[in-house]
Structure 1
Amino acid sequence: MTLNPAEIGAVLAVHGPVARVLVAQAKGSVPRGAGTSMLVWADGFQGTIGGGALEWQALARAREVLAGGGPRVDRIPLGPALGQCCGGSVTLVTERLEVVPPLPWLRRVEGQAGAPEMRGFAFADGWLQEVATSPARPVWVWGAGHVGAALVGTLAPLPQFDVIWVDTDAARFPAIPQGAERLVAVDPGRAMAHAPGTAEHLILTYSHEVDLALCHAALVRGFTFCGLIGSASKWARFRSRLGALGHSDAEIDRITCPIGDPSLGKHPQAIAIGVAARLLSRTPPGDLPMKDTT
């Protein structure tokens, strides 16, 4: 969770100069960790550093910086003074941005000390360095129906995931939330070949035949997780048909059906909560880092 030039550039293009609030250090129990940031303009903001009194104070300071102040560093205990019981403390660095910063971005934000040796994201001796956002886990959601919309709405804001939302017709998509990318694919099975081999797939289209084609394509392409919406009887039929297509029992067992937590019920939001919990509890191969959350 650190600098995302593309996101900063998009906000600058719409709103002009902004103030950026960054959690440079976090100690103890805090709402968000070091590297979390938010962008603030005169009548709005994007991102969150944890909400509550901390964020409201940060917004006020950010708008002071936006109005012409230089960078400021605030060390804030999250105790009774803020009406919060987290018990930790954060150091916030607030800066005015008029252009997209270079990478890596090394600058002095307080004091007079010379620059120390720094690697990656670091805050030391009044100097702050940020590097490019690391790639997140690719999650491909196949189907833009009610369950697909609930899943994308739940997963897209999470920093762990980059969400690709796929369906056969652009008209099937509702509004695309920030953090998700739409892909229209007339033949979803062929589109599977464009997914990275590390992708996590959630298959829940309007058609059992499309679902089956996607399961087959996923087994051919490779994946780190593949979940299919459906009943026990649907999965029994799919297992038989996937076997007839040449997949071994061990390969077919890699597909999870049903997805989510059946005990939560069949409401789209309940399914989305169960799926999100399952994905969040998984340890991705290679311990992939998270994307930026500005």
Structure 2
Amino acid sequence: MRVWRQLADLIGQHGSAALITVHEVKGSAPREVGAHIVVRPDGAFHGTIGGGQLEFRMLDIARDMLRGGRGAARIVDQALGPDLGQCCGGRVKILIETFDGRDLEDIKPLVDSEAHGVFEVECRLDQGRVIRDLSSAVGDDKATQWRETHGEARTPVLIFGAGHVGRALALALAPLPFSVRWLDDREDAFPGHVPANVAAVRMQDPVGEIAQADPRSLILVMTHDHPLDMAITAAALGRDFPYVGLIGSDTKRARFEKRFRELGLSEARIRSLVCPIGIPGIVAKEPAVIAASVVAQLLQVRERGALDSKFSPPVPANDKTAP
């Protein structure tokens, strides 16, 4: 969730909104520092700080603060075990703030920065309100009381192919921290609407797309044409992407491997290919099931720090995606 965009939109639509932030964590807690909820004046909300009694209590406080109008920020120091009966048993400090139209000008730079990824702000209290300055503009400010990190580090994904599985994947990746470039060479291949984190592109030069791709990209190949699959996959294996996945069966993989060797690709790069795609143990072939399995695999790659180190692909599931 783009927190500042959401906050600005709700202020524009409803006149005010509250922001709940996990400010500090000691011991075990349901969410990490920086987790957020944005709350509307009618009590509806977006985001989570982990659910359970902690979230319910903080939402009640935020709603009460909104009813009182824009005012001073509040930090709630909450023990999870003895106070709330939550088994994680740690301790958290939760920052709760209220905003209205007077804050939109100050929020705008945060909205703009959020659109470009991760950024830091320096924070201080002034008459009970939290003042946030972009770190790049302020530097080492002696008045800073704490720093916050905002925005999402989105992992780039290239999906080649807008068939049934490609469409299911684009939808499955929509709420997750990925930035998707979705490619197909056919006219009218894409649906009329795509998720906000997806760019649908009429593909002119598939090998050129691979050549220009961010080296951190995760590559998924599932076009309507096996020779095209071959060309794209060979180009992708020619670079050191952390993940290259090809839709297909063990038989398709064996045929492609023979051609890859003829093209001079190294055995190490050929072995790195994930085909069949998806996590082991899921054998259903419905597009939505394949997409869920593949997305779980991409999340594993992301969690393993594959964007900063070499990725050793998981053992593929058995023949679940043969076109």
Which of the five TM-score ranges fits, normalised by the shorter chain? Answer: 0.7 to 0.9
Are the aligned partners of 2:72 and 2:127 in contact in 1 as well (CA < 8 Å)? no
Q: Which amino acid aligns with 1:181?
A: V
Task: Find the counterpart in structure 2 of residue 172 from structure 1.
Answer: 190
Gaps of 5+ in 1: 112-117, 119-125, 288-294
The reply on whether 1:56 has 2:94 as its aligned counterpart is no
Match of 1:271 among 290, 298, 302: 290
Give the whole-Å Cα distance in 2 for the aligned partners of 1:60 and 1:40. 10
Are the aligned partners of 1:21 and 1:62 in contact in 2 as well (CA < 8 Å)? yes
Gaps of 5+ in 2: 111-119, 129-134, 136-143, 310-323
Between 97-106 and 22-31, report the one with greater CA deviation: 97-106
Q: Which amino acid aligns with 1:191?
A: E
Are the aligned partners of 1:185 and 1:191 in contact in 2 as well (CA < 8 Å)? no
Are the aligned partners of 2:260 and 2:270 in contact in 1 as well (CA < 8 Å)? yes
Are the aligned partners of 1:189 and 1:210 in contact in 2 as well (CA < 8 Å)? no
Q: Which has the higher contact order (CA 8 A, sep 6+)?
A: 1
Residue 221 of structure 1: CA displacement? Answer: 4.3
**Closer/same/farther in 2, CA of residues 48 and 145 from structure 1, 3 Å limit:** farther
The correspondence of residues 1-294 of structure 1 with structure 2, limited to 5 A, is 8-9=4-5, 11-13=7-9, 15-16=11-12, 17-43=16-42, 44-66=44-66, 67-79=69-81, 81-82=83-84, 84-97=86-99, 98-99=103-104, 100=107, 104-108=121-125, 127-133=145-151, 135-159=153-177, 161-168=178-185, 171-173=189-191, 175-177=193-195, 180-187=197-204, 188-265=206-283, 266-282=285-301, 283=304, 284-286=306-308
Report the count of equivalent residues: 269
Give the whole-Å Cα distance in 1 for the aligned partners of 2:126 and 2:64. 16
Q: Which amino acid aligns with 1:226?
A: V
SS in 1 for 2:28: coil
Give the whole-Å Cα distance in 2 for the aligned partners of 1:211 and 1:92. 50
CA deviation digits over 1:123-147, x for unaligned, max 9? xxx9332145363332223333343
**Closer/same/farther in 2, CA of residues 94 and 286 from structure 1, 3 Å limit:** same
**Closer/same/farther in 2, CA of residues 132 and 28 from structure 1, 3 Å limit:** closer
Give the whole-Å Cα distance in 1 for the aligned partners of 2:126 and 2:153. 27
SS in 2 for 1:26: strand
**Closer/same/farther in 2, CA of residues 52 and 29 from structure 1, 3 Å limit:** same
Give the whole-Å Cα distance in 1 for the aligned partners of 2:6 and 2:210. 29
Between 223-232 and 266-275, report the one with greater CA deviation: 266-275
Are the aligned partners of 1:105 and 1:131 in contact in 2 as well (CA < 8 Å)? no
TM-score, scaled relative to structure 1: 0.75
TM-score, scaled relative to structure 2: 0.69
Give the whole-Å Cα distance in 2 for the aligned partners of 1:214 and 1:270. 24
Give the whole-Å Cα distance in 2 for the aligned partners of 1:47 and 1:190. 38
Give the whole-Å Cα distance in 1 for the aligned partners of 2:78 and 2:287. 40
Are the aligned partners of 1:109 and 1:127 in contact in 2 as well (CA < 8 Å)? no
